[in-house]
Amino acid sequence: MAKPGRSSAISAGASVDWPSYDEAQAAAIENCAVADCTVMIAWANGCGALVYSDDGVAAASGPNRSEAERAAYRRLAEITPTAPLASFGSSDLSGAKVSQVVCTSNAR
C-alpha cells in the first residue's frame, strides 16, 4: 500500500498477488496516482488496511481483514491516541476511518 507524502487529501494505491515485491511496489505507487507516493506496508498471504483520522494515516497487515484493520488502528493510535475507539464502536468519536482494505487471493 502506498500513500502520498505531504498532500492534504488521502490518495492511496494498492496492489495484490504480484510475483515479486518490486512488481507489487511499482504497481502500488502507480495506482496511487500522485508524484510523491511512498510504500507504507508490504505483506504476503493476508490483508493490508489503511486507516486515517484528522491527525494521521497508518497502515498495517494481518492474516484477514479484521486483524489488518485492528493492527492499522493500533498503529494509528501511536499518532492519535483515540483511534482505537473507532474499532470498538464507542460513542466518543475519534474520527478514525478505514480508507481501504486489500487482501491477497489466499487470505484466510
Reading the chain (108 residues) residue by residue, the pLDDT tens digits are: 655 444 456 678 888 899 999 999 999 898 887 888 888 999 999 999 999 988 889 999 999 999 999 999 999 988 877 655 555 555 444 678 899 999 999 987
Q: What is the pTM of this model?
A: 0.76
For residue 101, what is its C-alpha cell?
Answer: 482494505
Contact 51, 78 (CB under 8 A): no
Contact 107, 62 (CB under 8 A): no
Residue 87 Cα distances to 22, 63, 94, angstroms:
32, 17, 10
Q: Is 89 left (phi over 0), alpha (psi -120 to 50) or beta?
A: left
For the chain, domain boundaries: 2-103
